[in-house]
A = this chain, B = another copy of it.
Amino acid sequence: MATSERKKREYAQRQTLIIDTARKLLLDVGYIDLNMDRIAEITEYSKGTIYQHFSCKEEILVEMLIQSAKKCGTFLGRGSRFQGTPRERMAAMALGYDLFIRLNPDHFKSKLLLQNESIRRKASPVFQKNLEKAEQDNMGIVSEVLREAVEQGHVQLRKDVTTEEVSFGLWTGAFGAYVLMFSEMNLQALGISDPRKAVWNNIHALLDGFGWHPLFQDLNWDQTKSRILKEVFPHEAKLAQVS
């Protein structure tokens, strides 16, 4: 039926409107002052209608993060398809992740919040499952490149180390760093003037530590970095003013 199709479309449109409104509001006023009345007011729908879509504000955040995670996945995916060695592709993914976060800083504000289970569990199980799925997919992209590197003999892991554990290390290192960058912590005072450079160096040190070739010292990484930005993320690099 034509009508019901239109209805669906309208519903989806409103869903997007609500999420976008919440996203802006969150960036503006923060989690605590983010409230349903305000969202209703701005979207020009009543509170009841908002509750038709989401059971609570935490559920809006979860949906927001599902979208964010998927978007992040496209950056990781593009990085992973960079024309180069697996290690270079890994670097391309790291740059992609950084670009994604630069262009979507609000992602972290809410991601962090939802890492707390008392907040996350307010959302209904379906939403929670979807978010978990999206996050697992992203980690899968990283693990896959690592697996190829092992297969092609670029790195030989000790038998007590799995590819997933190394991905986990990359992931946690970068994730932890961005968490600290996006909290109000004064990194400057800790002697970290350029946390992104530190992350870059630490990722490479980790991979060097596992003996993944080509080692950091064996390549002109500044040049590789430029090439990645130019070939994979030309538009995003310009937007984020990264070079």
Binding site for B on A (CB under 8 A): 29-33, 109, 112-113, 115-122, 128, 132, 135-136, 139, 143, 160-166, 168-169, 171-177, 179-180, 182-187, 189-192, 195, 197-199, 201-202, 204-210, 216
Contacts and interface: CB of A to CB of B under 8 A. Distances in A.
Given A168-B192, A177-B172, A115 B209 contact: no
Given A202-B166, A205-B210, A117 B173 contact: no
Contacts of A122: 32
Nearest to A118: B30
A125 B68 CA distance: 32
Nearest to A114: B183
B118 A183 contact: no
Contacts of A115: 112, 179-180, 182-183
B118 A33 contact: yes
A164 to B, nearest CB: 3
A214 to B, nearest CB: 14
A172 B180 contact: yes
Contact of A173 (B29, B30, B163, B173): B173
Contacts of A132: 185-186, 189
Given A174-B176, A176-B175, A202 B120 contact: no
A199 B143 CA distance: 16
A164 B192 contact: yes
Contact of A179 (B165, B179, B184, B190): B179
Contacts of A176: 171-177, 179
B117 A30 contact: yes
13 contacts: A112-B115, A116-B183, A132-B185, A165-B197, A165-B198, A169-B173, A169-B205, A172-B173, A179-B179, A204-B209, A206-B209, A207-B209, A209-B216
Central interface residue in A29, A118, A172, A186, by most chain B CB within 10 Å: A172
Contacts of A143: 191
Contacts of A210: 205, 209
Top 3 A-B pairs, shortest CB-CB distance: A30-B118, A176-B176, A205-B209
B169 A198 contact: yes
A179 B183 contact: no
B118 A29 contact: yes
Contacts of A33: 118
